[in-house]
Amino acid sequence: MLKNLGFLLLTLLCIHQTCAQEVLFEFGERKDFDDLIANTDRPEALRWIDVNTSDSTWRLDDNVLVSTGLPIGVVRSEKMYQNFILHVEWRHMEKGGNSGIFAWCDAVPESHNRLPSGVEIQMLELDWVNQNIRNGETPPIAYVHGELFGAGQTKTTPDNPRGERSKSIENRCLGVGEWNKYTVVCVDGTIKLSVNGKFVNGVSKSTKRKGYLCLEAEGAEIQFRNLQIIELDDGYILPEHIVGELR
């Protein structure tokens, strides 16, 4: 009886893990830098796997990926990436909306907030500061403009410190319903962020330097388009810099 029960539990676990690895949707492109230089580029569609959201959280509307924001959680890239350039355009559809993208991410949610460890590239709508007044004070606008920080177990060194986080040195974000463009250069533990055509933030010495990309749902509708990853040459990396591989 116990043997049969153990076999049943193992079977259910295997079924769950297999389902968890199914591709939820394809969105964006992966390109190789050397192929771009040689003008022989053959883009590869990016495949995304649900971690702890749902199939109703995300939908493709022509070339735009729409997230309802609920339930809070992430989807992850099928593959891990080390050194790369990420380009993405995004817009919030609700005032004060919250979201982001995780780089070098382990894609393992923490129990207290359903979000994983990695370097978060923040995407907050401009009205967030007005909706989060604390002790009678409105937070500085820098909170919403492309903050970079190590989330969860990942640690980074900020270029422009706000505690352990790094804030942008200039506000270039546009508000609700308007498209913003992020270019993110991720090389050997250093990340530099360009917002709408200008580099304004960065972190370095990340404790993780190879991992998954994760798109975040965090309670409000956000839309993404024109997501591209350009893979660069690998750099020197230690085993502890690499997140655990998910299968």
Torsion of CA 140, 73, 119, 92, to 10 degrees: -40
pTM of the model: 0.89
Helices (H), 148-228: none
Q: Give pLDDT, residue 139.
A: 83
Res. 189 pLDDT band, cuts 50 70 90: very high
- Mean per-residue pLDDT, 46-61: 97
What is the residue-averaged pLDDT of the chain? 91
**Please, what are the domains in the chain?**
25-235 (2.60.120.560)
Q: Give pLDDT, residue 88.
A: 98
Q: Give pLDDT, residue 16.
A: 43
Q: Give pLDDT, residue 21.
A: 75
Q: Give pLDDT, residue 172.
A: 94
C-alpha neighbours within 13 Å on the C-beta side of residue 222: 27
Q: Give pLDDT, residue 14.
A: 42
CA-closest candidate to residue 101, choices 197, 183, 198: 183
Distance, in Å, from the CA atom of 60 to the CA atom of 23, rounded to the nearest integer, reads: 14
Q: Give pLDDT, residue 39.
A: 84
Q: Give pLDDT, residue 204.
A: 98
The per-residue pLDDT for range 114-169, each reduced to its tens digit, is 999 999 999 999 999 999 898 999 887 777 789 999 999 999 999 999 999 999 99
- Mean per-residue pLDDT, 77-95: 98
Torsion of CA 125, 30, 245, 207, to 10 degrees: -60
The yes-or-no verdict on residue 100 having pLDDT over 70 is: yes
Tokens linked to 205: 């010495």
